[in-house]
Amino acid sequence: MSTLALAGLLREAAPALDAALGGRVQVDLAPTRTLEARIRAGERADAAILTAEAVAALSAENILDGMTARPLAHSRVGLAVKAGAPHPDISTVDALRRLLLAVPTLCYSRAGASGIFFAGLIERLGIAAEVNAKAIVIPQGFTAEKLVSGEAAIAFQQISELMEVPGIEIVGALPEGAQTVAVFSGATFAGAPEGADLLDAVARACTPAALRAKGLDAPG
């Protein structure tokens, strides 16, 4: 079970993971908050990749094996537009605030780590009511799909998730002061010894080069 932020990396690593484990690795992708709820409702797998906070919480509840927890990737929130559209100025917090007030439509995700952060950001900027009045807030999935469909002018999400949608262009990461670095960690489920080999294989796939290619950074 994995957060969407590592979707691209896990897709490309699938042949290596299958070869290392001698069978097909099945990956269930969803936002961390969605996966947390499903896990607490009783769903299980061999391993999970979630925010470090979620891994810690589920380990404290003895659902995940905290002894196996390890950071796999760091991720930043970015902004994207439809391919060919002008790139707005997001170089400063003030520029980003002006954009959010001026743009006709935007999209963010309700359940993902980036969407939770973004909802808090617009509250801190004092523009939550104005922004949410014109925002498309998807329950989960890739926000940039709303750019391709023409429903939104800009989209916010983890850069690695924006990169999964063809037909868009990433303007860049949000500026310091309006940015967060999410740490995604992996851990095995308690009582799932098969998860150790799987988690080791995933960790080997998270090389600095592979992470950079998918808009992520190596932990450390």
Question: Rounded to the nearest 10 degrees, what angle do helices 7-21 and 194-205 cross at?
Answer: 130
Say which DSSP state 139 is in.
S
pTM above 0.85, yes or no: yes
**What pLDDT was estimated at residue 112?**
82
Helices (H), 103-150: 113-124, 128-132, 145-148
CA 150 to CA 219: how far, in whole Å? 35
| Cα–Cα–Cα angle for 78, 79, 85, rounded to 5 degrees | 150
* pLDDT tens digits along 17-59: 999 999 999 999 999 999 999 999 999 999 999 999 999 999 9
Q: What is the mean pLDDT of residues 155-164?
A: 96
Q: What is the mean pLDDT of residues 158-170?
A: 97
CA 32 to CA 20: how far, in whole Å? 26
Say which DSSP state 84 is in.
T
* pLDDT tens digits along 179-196: 999 999 999 999 998 899
